[in-house]
A and B are shown apart, each in its own frame.
Chain A
Amino acid sequence: MYPFIVIDDSPLDCLIVKKIISFSGKSADIVVFNDANKALEHIRALAINQLPPLTIITLDIMMPIMDGFEFLEQFLTLPETVQHHFKIIILSLSNHPYTIKRLQGYSIVEAIIEKPITIEKLNSTLAGVLRE
């Protein structure tokens, strides 16, 4: 069981992701953000000694105001000791080769799930991410 942070501009998608995570039995502690800026503020506000050992972030890519890539860039400016407490999974509609290639340039991205998300997809991805 790990806490989750869900970042997606669509409130409906957030709700679905939240439901899928809770029904998969993977977590009961799920925080959602429609605005990636707010998610960053939330992460920055957490004191290092309060951080759980590991939090999973699911991140959408195509979002207005701050998109997934900007979020990743901002996330990389956090102290490494903070970064180590998170694993980022991209949860996006885009399977465009260019987007995938660009995402592969970020070592902090653990996995990419293409929407629509299902319990099976989430379970198998998490199994891979957590085995490492």
Chain B
Amino acid sequence: MKEDIKILYVDDELNNLISFKASLRNKYKIFLAENVGHAYDILRKHPDMRMVFSDQHMPEESGTAFFETLRKEFPNAIRILVTGYTGDLDAVVEAINRGNVFRYMKKPWKTEVLLRIIAEANQHYLASSLLAEKNRELERAYVELDKFAHSVSHDIRGPLAGIMSAAQLAKDIDNPDEIREILTIIGHSAERLDRYILNVHDYYSVRRGEFSISEIDFGALSNDLLEMYEASASSREVQFVIKLNIKEIFTSDETGLRLILTNLISNAFKYQKKKSDERLVEVVIEVNKGIATFLVKDTGIGIKEHYFSEIFNIFFRASLDEPGSGLGLYNVKSMVNKLGGSISVESEYGVGSIFKVELPSK
């Protein structure tokens, strides 16, 4: 089987080039160059060259000198030095120190030695690129953690500081009405803290991403949701409707699905207009051709268009009118991504918003 591994060989002796290609062309993509200039032309066209073999003794430039410059311009290509002179220990030492070669191969080579070197070089390449990828992942995780630590100080210590201040204040007060008011503040602060902790819990369960895929019973799900939001709906005078149009069986992770829907529906209730005659939260769920589409519509305060791209970012908040952790929509988007779906928003400021989620059946 021919792999898409690109290998370049630079040598001023044509015979060597021909025999190199002859023994490898069935397995790898081989490129040949008779001099360093030609080698660079090829490298610029194929920057994904995985390894470069070079003869040490060439008329214009030694293999070592070539590798020294190659290393700067194409650091990812693995360098292997080829030389016919035996006992040329100085050249080898220099090649290792200046050109940072991976292996040193003697001419004439045996095909099995050549194949072994290529296999080892490839392994080395894969290990180091994996390491580089892991490093990038770590960096991303670190940036997120940094934001997280920042938010923890604000969102956990904030409500706690509120509770501490209020408790201290209550000690100095005798009026029972005032004390009751302060107890209410303490209660609200504790609720804020609790909500934040639940969101953090969601955040970690999304990240762990352990799914259990099962058939979704939308009838039961919709009854659960109606029951869950009954109190919110009546206390805020919001009409809450769920419309189902399920044409076929849909399988997905039910916990993930609930996380998505409850976050979107909670937002739809939370961001209703304060003064309005008609308040509505409508959920439409359709399953057709292996795709489930969820629409969560509200007659709320809406979102300004320049925030559309930012609302799914971690710790972003577009409004101060309601308490928020900046994690809700971030969790939703992460979960939608993990389930292989997509999310979009349409909104008119002051009129309302529609969040649309599409998920493939798993």
Where the two chains meet, the residues of A that have a C-beta atom closer than 8 Å to any C-beta of B are 9-13, 15-16, 19-20, 23, 34-35, 62, 64-65, 93-94, 115-119
A116 & B168 in contact (Cβ 8 Å cutoff): yes
Given known A16-B166, A62-B154, A117-B165, contact A9–B159 (CB-CB < 8 A): no
A23 & B185 in contact (Cβ 8 Å cutoff): no
B172 & A10 in contact (Cβ 8 Å cutoff): no
The distance in angstroms between the C-alpha atoms of A73 and B347, with both chains bound, is: 33
A19 & B182 in contact (Cβ 8 Å cutoff): yes
Secondary structure of the A contact surface, majority rule: loop
The distance in angstroms between the C-alpha atoms of A23 and B170, with both chains bound, is: 10
B158 & A93 in contact (Cβ 8 Å cutoff): yes
Contacts of B157 in A (CB 8 A): 93, 115
Quick one: which of A12, A23, A119 contacts B159, CB cutoff 8 A? Answer: A12
Contacts of B317 in A (CB 8 A): 64
- Of chain B, the residue at the smallest CB distance from A64 is B317
B249 adjacent to chain A (CB < 8 Å): no
- Of chain A, the residue at the smallest CB distance from B173 is A23
Contacts of A13 in B (CB 8 A): 158, 161-162
The distance in angstroms between the C-alpha atoms of A61 and B157, with both chains bound, is: 14
A23 & B169 in contact (Cβ 8 Å cutoff): yes
Secondary structure of the B contact surface, majority rule: helix
Quick one: which of B153, B188, B189, B323 contacts A93, CB cutoff 8 A? Answer: B153
How many positions in chain B have a CB within 8 Å of any CB in the partner chain? 24
The distance in angstroms between the C-alpha atoms of A35 and B318, with both chains bound, is: 12
A12 & B185 in contact (Cβ 8 Å cutoff): yes
Chain A to chain B contacts (Cβ below 8 Å), 23 pairs: A10-B158, A10-B323, A12-B162, A12-B185, A12-B188, A12-B189, A13-B162, A15-B185, A23-B172, A34-B320, A64-B317, A64-B320, A64-B326, A65-B320, A93-B153, A93-B157, A93-B158, A115-B157, A115-B158, A116-B165, A118-B165, A118-B168, A119-B169
The distance in angstroms between the C-alpha atoms of A13 and B159, with both chains bound, is: 8
B164 adjacent to chain A (CB < 8 Å): yes
B15 CB to closest chain A CB (Å) equals 66
Quick one: which of B165, B185, B188 contacts A115, CB cutoff 8 A? Answer: B165
A77 CB to closest chain B CB (Å) equals 23
B324 CB to closest chain A CB (Å) equals 9
The distance in angstroms between the C-alpha atoms of A12 and B166, with both chains bound, is: 10
Using A10-B162, A23-B169, A35-B320 as known contacts, list a sample of 16 further A-B pairs with CB atoms less than 8 Å apart, ordered by residue number in A. A10-B323, A11-B323, A13-B162, A16-B162, A16-B169, A19-B169, A19-B182, A19-B185, A20-B169, A23-B172, A34-B320, A93-B153, A93-B158, A115-B157, A115-B165, A116-B160
Contacts of A117 in B (CB 8 A): 161, 165
Contacts of A11 in B (CB 8 A): 323
Task: Give me the 6 closest cross-chain CB pairs, A-B, nearest first.
Answer: A116-B161, A115-B161, A116-B164, A116-B165, A64-B317, A16-B165
The distance in angstroms between the C-alpha atoms of A117 and B231, with both chains bound, is: 35
Contacts of B158 in A (CB 8 A): 10, 13, 93, 115
Contact with A along B139-179 (1 / 0, CB 8 A): 00000000000000110011111101110110011000000
Contacts of A34 in B (CB 8 A): 320
B29 adjacent to chain A (CB < 8 Å): no
The distance in angstroms between the C-alpha atoms of A20 and B172, with both chains bound, is: 10
B270 adjacent to chain A (CB < 8 Å): no
The distance in angstroms between the C-alpha atoms of A80 and B37, with both chains bound, is: 68
Contacts of A35 in B (CB 8 A): 320
B192 adjacent to chain A (CB < 8 Å): yes
* Residue with the greatest number of chain B CB neighbours at <10 A, chosen from A23, A34, A93, A94: A93
